[in-house]
Amino acid sequence: MKMETKEILTQVEQTWTLYRLENDQGMSVNFLNYGGIITDISVPDNDGQIENVVLRFKNYEDYISNPVFFGALVGRVAGRIKEASFYLNGQTYQLGKNERSHHLHGGQEGFHSRVWNVTPYENEQEIGAKLSLSSPAGDGGYPGNVEVEVTYILTNDNRFIIDYKAETDEVTPLTLTNHAYFNLSGGAKRTIDNHVCLIDSTKIAELDEELIPTGEWLDVNNTPFDFQNKKELKNVFTNETTQQKVASGGMDHYFKFNGEKESAIHLEDPESGRTLDVTTDQPGVVIYTSNSLPEGIKLLEGEARRHVGICLETQSSPASLHEKGFPDVLLSPENPYHKRTVFSFGKRR
């Protein structure tokens, strides 16, 4: 196993560091200290060809605005907070609005736009890096001083692990995730339409026209959102339903896990043979199928297009700040935050 670093000088006179983790099987993970942004995960296909399976910008400078959160660590709160406000312990907190009247993924200056401290490490079983960040009280409008540590870990059996920890001195909302867009075809040469997916979930959060949960749970059985058994993603793209239309022709929904299957999520690309299994101790996941990427975004592999990637945003639900019956996002001094998501890459047998 090995680690390499490279300095990236941006046009706005910021210098970032690009880290590359590589295991003994040839799998590698590249990420920036800026935003903890994952720019490359390269894994072999059935023929042993190693290619990148996440979307990345052609130009590093585009990560400064990064309106679609490519590859970024997202916080303090992943997801949408209705009307950019919440009520806690007798006080209303007002947050920055960055999607209509709502607060999305920590706001304009969330964790995705910070330079993280990075400490690399290596042992016999794995290679990795600890990314740390201090978020002071009032940051983005949130209460409490928060210390965050996220560890990226690459193992020799082609598992990429993201371990999240956080502590606070005051009760505050927090749920962290990574916003990588996966495309197992390699080099985004095809859309994800023919990717086969399984999600261990029978319930999704109903969304209104602005993608805010209504407070109701919908049963996925016998709907296009039913991925309890393996099926192609295009099934949800081509079957028009109210919820599919709300999400601009795909998924942008919170799925609550059943906890019944070995993997919370399974994804595979039949043509390349690459597979991805996701296990996590998070209660659910937002599945976003890049239904509305802005036109003209320049990827390393060409211009972005609809359904070119899928985000697997394991997390709790910020809807819990306004609605009952949703996984809680409140962090307290007595109960530090510790969550882990494992991405296991393999090949179809």
Coil, strand or helix: which one is 294?
Answer: coil
H-assigned helices in 270-317: none
305: phi > 0 → left, psi -120 to 50 → alpha, else beta; which? beta
In the chain, the amino acid numbered 36 is G
CA–CA gap between residue 330 and residue 348 (Å, rounded): 40
Number of other residues whose CB lies within 10 A of the CB of residue 169: 13
Number of other residues whose CB lies within 10 A of the CB of residue 272: 24
Q: What's CA 124's distance to the chain center, in Å? A: 28
First to last CA, the chain: 26
Is 179 catalytic? The answer is yes
Q: Which one of 102, 112, 179, 266 is the catalytic residue?
A: 179
Contact residues for 150 (Cβ-Cβ < 8 A; gap 6+): 36, 73, 116, 130, 131, 132, 162, 163, 164, 165, 176
Q: Which one of 51, 149, 301, 313 is the catalytic residue?
A: 313
Q: What angle do CA 28, 33, 36 make, to 5 degrees?
A: 70
H-assigned helices in the chain: 234-238, 242-246
In the chain, the amino acid numbered 326 is F
Is 313 catalytic? The answer is yes
Cis peptide before 76 (omega within 30 of 0): yes
Active site residues: 179, 313
